[in-house]
Amino acid sequence: MGGSKAYPYGSTGAVRAHVLAALGVLKVASADQIRRLMCPGHKDNKAVRNACLDLARHGLTVSEGNARDGNKLWGLTPLGLDAAAEVLARPVSEMGGTARGAARSGAPHAMAVNETIIAITRTPAEPTRPVPRTGVAPSQEAPVSVPGPAGMGAVASWSTEVAHVLSGTGRGRSTVQTDAVLLAPDAGVPVLLVEVDNCTESPERLAAKFDRYRDYFRRKAKDAQGREIPAWRTLYPPTGREGHPPIAVVFNPGIRTGEQALKNRMNRVLDLTRDVWSGRFENMGSYLSDRIDGYQKYEDAIPLVFTTLPRLQEGGPLEEVWWRCGHRQWETLTDALANPDDIEAWRQRDEEQRRQRDEERKRERQQQTQWPGYDPELVTATVVATPPGPPPAPCERCGLSITGTPGHGYPYAPPEDGRHCPECRTDISRQPTGLLKALFTRPPSRS
């Protein structure tokens, strides 16, 4: 076999590291799954199988059964789990268990989780140096493989069988266990919790799990500065979006669930979880207007996205293979996780409406001043050049202005007669009516 005394099956250190890293994340997997996840450039599984056998001789790997398709399943021993922690550069406390006994039943759920991780990650094949072949015509050379759809993340971006504590401590604590967690900030997905559904349990039981997720997301904890934060923030980075971390449900219909049955199942789960993923509408319209305008608040909502394993395997995670509950079409993951009707969208819409109103008022003012022949400078010059009118006539009795003293009011003066000022009209009204008194009465003097 060309091996050494320590590794008689001839495996290389690189492939052994691939096996440890893959099993450290997947817990149990076939040689073919390890190859497709870690080194898809290898033409077959021989190098991976040899590495598993060599690691088994050192007590790091173990095979306890076969998958339902007949492939042998491999897992790690406790010693192998420590070695995998070294390869993945993770604390042993974050590695989880060894999944002992899972392979004895064929591990159908674990196989579906593995296929989901492989379909999302899509590790690119490492470039190799071509080996020149003598005596072979160029037309007979092996065709160059075309890379498939791109993926996101790497094997180190994943964790599986992650327990999130709801309440309690020790053995009495309540948890909600996530099939897989992806941390891929470079792909615009800081955190994504993944649930794989083999369509074997009832939709009601699957939907009930998301109520437990919301209970976990609502829990509070203290950060290093003593501030109260969501408990999930002690494990994962912020999502950059309003609301709880997103959860992706990957439906694996297999060969037993038809297309219509799968569609009915997805619609049923969507209806049962409506309270979990729906936002709360905030009306920002005026009380004096019948027009309704506002936004959705997602602070207590879980972004829930659906897809199927065949869609992921065919199109890859970067294509429009995700259906966000509450949206109405298949989208890319980043578009599906966006909230186009949240408060930021409303603010942008409100600002645009305010700008349009300002432009409309400006156009109205311009139309009011744009009549034929209108010239603002000419109008101003005409107003300035207009001479003042003639001064009023003097009072016939006292000779002063007929309008009275400037700045004085005459609320009790008799009505204007066109001849006398207010003071003279008042004085005349008080004159004696007899002829004798009229002859000896003098007019008032003005100083």
Greatest mean pLDDT among 77-86, 121-130, 391-400, 406-415 lies in: 77-86
Burial 319-341 (b: 16+ CB within 10 A, else e): bebbbbbbeeebbebeebbbbeb
At 383, the amino acid letter reads: V
Q: Quick one: average pLDDT of 235-241?
A: 92
Contact 121, 114 (CB under 8 A): no
Which residues are within 8 A (CB) of 299 and not within 5 positions of it... i.e. 6 or more apart?
Answer: 242, 243
Rounded mean pLDDT of the chain?
84
Which residues are within 8 A (CB) of 272 and not within 5 positions of it... i.e. 6 or more apart?
Answer: 203, 204, 207
According to DSSP, residue 327 is labeled B
* Range of lowest pLDDT (164-168, 226-230, 233-237): 164-168
Task: Give me the percent of the chain exceeding a pLDDT of 90.
Answer: 52
DSSP three-state, residue 164: strand
According to DSSP, residue 199 is labeled S
Q: What is the pTM of this model?
A: 0.73
Q: What is the pLDDT of residues 372-424, one digit of tens each?
A: 555 555 545 544 555 666 777 788 888 788 888 777 777 778 888 878 888 88
Residue 179 belongs to what H/E stretch? Answer: strand 174-184
Q: What is the pLDDT of residues 288-310, one digit of tens each?
A: 556 667 778 888 999 999 999 99
Helix axes 13-26, 31-38, angle to 10 degrees: 100
Q: What is the pLDDT of residues 314-370, one digit of tens each?
A: 999 999 999 999 998 999 999 999 887 766 766 777 677 778 878 888 888 787 776
